[in-house]
Amino acid sequence: MRKREELADGHKHGFEPLERIDPTRVSTFSDLVNQMARTALGARQVGLAADIMTTMFSDPDCTVVATFSGPMTIAKQDLIIAEMIAQGWLDAIVTTGAIIVHSLVQDLGKAHFKYDPSWDDTSLYEAGYNRVYDTVELERSLDESEELVRKLLDERASRNPLSSAELCRMLGEVLLARGSQRGILQEAYRRNVPIFIPAFTDSELGLDFAIYNLRAGEEKRVTFDPFLDLDAYTKLVSEANELGIFTIGGGVPRNWAQQVGPYVDSIVRRGVAQSKKIVKFKYGVRICPEPVHWGGLSGCTYSEGVSWGKFVSSQEGARFAEIYADATIVLPILTLAILERLGERS
| Strand runs labelled E in the chain | 62-68, 92-95, 113-114, 129-132, 135-138, 195-196, 242-248, 283-287, 319-323
Report d(CA 181, CA 184) in Å as an integer. 10
Give the model's pLDDT for residue 174. 94
The answer to whether the beta carbons of residues 55 and 83 sit under 8 Å apart is no
The string of DSSP letters for 27-94 reads -SHHHHHHHHTTS-HHHHHHHHHHHHHHHHHH-TTEEEEEEE-SSTTTTT-HHHHHHHHHTT--SEEE
CATH code of the domain made up of 95-236: 3.40.910.10
Give the model's pLDDT for residue 55. 92
Number of helices (H) and strands (E) in the chain: give both, helices first.
14, 9
Low-confidence ranges of the chain (pLDDT < 50): none
Q: What does the buried/exposed string (b/e) look like for 62-100 if buried means 16 or more CB atoms within 10 Å of the residue's CB?
A: bbbbbbbbbbbbbbebbbbbbbbbbbebbbbbbbbbbbb
Residue 88 has phi, psi (to 5 degrees) of 80, 20
Report d(CA 75, CA 236) in Å as an integer. 30
Give the model's pLDDT for residue 334. 94
CATH code 3.40.910.10 region(s) in the chain: 95-236
Give the model's pLDDT for residue 63. 95
The overall pTM is greater than 0.95: no
Q: How many CB atoms within 10 Å of residue 5?
A: 6
Nearest to 202 by CA among 247, 165, 248, 251: 251
| Strand runs labelled E in 207-295 | 242-248, 283-287
Residues 252-294 have pLDDT tens digits of 999 999 999 888 888 888 878 766 678 889 999 999 888 888 8
